[in-house]
Amino acid sequence: MGVYTSVFWHGLRRYATYRAATAAGILTNSVFGCVSAFVLIAVWEARPGLAGWDAADAVAFVFVAQALIGVVAPFGPSLEIGERIRTGDVAIDLIRPVALPAWWLAQDLGRAAFGAVFRGVPTFAVGALLFTLTLPDGPAQWLAFAAATLLAALVGFGLRYLYALSAFWVVDDRGVQAVAWLVGPFFSGMFLPLALFPEPLGAVLRALPWSAMVQVPAEVFLGDHTGAGLAAALGFQAAWAAALLLAGRALTATAVRRVVVQGG
């Protein structure tokens, strides 16, 4: 466990060195959040009560989504294991006395922790200063949102790890990553709340793992889920996180055997 803790802190400190990139990310997310907020305010003025929200709920959703970008990384960065597979450096990773998925998970959680505190919080603060936002009612709802955010980070990692592992079969995973960066934000609710999609498309999108990255945490933040509904929402995220992590573990084992068979 000490090894993984060290890897976690290494991941956090590594991204802490990119101060200019962090500042640029905050600015970009804030500007895009403002543009989206004005669009949704206009929508809710035309359709009050749409999806059971008011304008403050819709704007809060926008800035929660923008704050989660640094946590779930729907636009990247991709995990470096994809590049290491392409160059052959993954052989070094495979001889380490640690589990490959756990190693990259620990590093990515460090990145996510940095993104949450130093990119997500400032982005949301900008939204709170410029607009009227709906906020959680009390500590219990804040804790539920923190749990949803952690599970969202696990789902985000699980997907990105699978994308990266594709390099064992397609050699270069950049094509897979490019498609994922187009599909993921759309399916997650990053571009537009899934509550606005017509049925049955909305129900289908909600059932996919990407919704656990943005839509569900934002709904928890807004208090849309309480009691048994909250447990079900967090359980949905946890189920997808477990499924993706187990799939990553199984595919890693398959890939390792493939490397050995090919003469690695």
- Of 3-7, 39-43, 65-69, 127-131, the poorest mean pLDDT is in 3-7
Nearest alpha-carbon partner for 181 in 77, 74, 83, 79: 74
pLDDT of residue 258: 62
Q: Terminus-to-terminus CA distance in the chain, angstroms?
A: 28
pLDDT of residue 4: 86
Say yes or no to pLDDT of 127 above 90.
yes
Query: Of residues 157 and 80, which shows the higher confidence score?
Result: 157
> CA 140: distance to chain centroid?
22
Per-residue pLDDT of 225-263, as tens digits, reads 999 999 999 999 999 999 999 999 999 888 777 654 444
Per-residue pLDDT of 50-91, as tens digits, reads 888 999 999 999 999 999 999 999 887 888 888 888 877 787
pLDDT of residue 3: 85
What's the mean per-residue pLDDT of the chain? 90
Q: In terms of residues, how long is the chain?
A: 264
Question: What is d(CA 40, CA 228) in angstroms, rounded to the nearest whole number?
Answer: 29
Show the tokens assigned to 48.
Answer: 């009050």
Nearest alpha-carbon partner for 72 in 125, 27, 128, 116: 116
Instruction: Give the residue carrying structure tokens 């359980």.
Output: 235
pLDDT of residue 262: 44
The residues pairing with 76 across neighbouring beta strands, listed in sequence order, are 74
DSSP calls for 37-80 = HHHHHHHHHHSTTGGG--HHHHHHHHHHHHHHHHHH-BTBPPPT
Show the tokens assigned to 109.
Answer: 């959680």
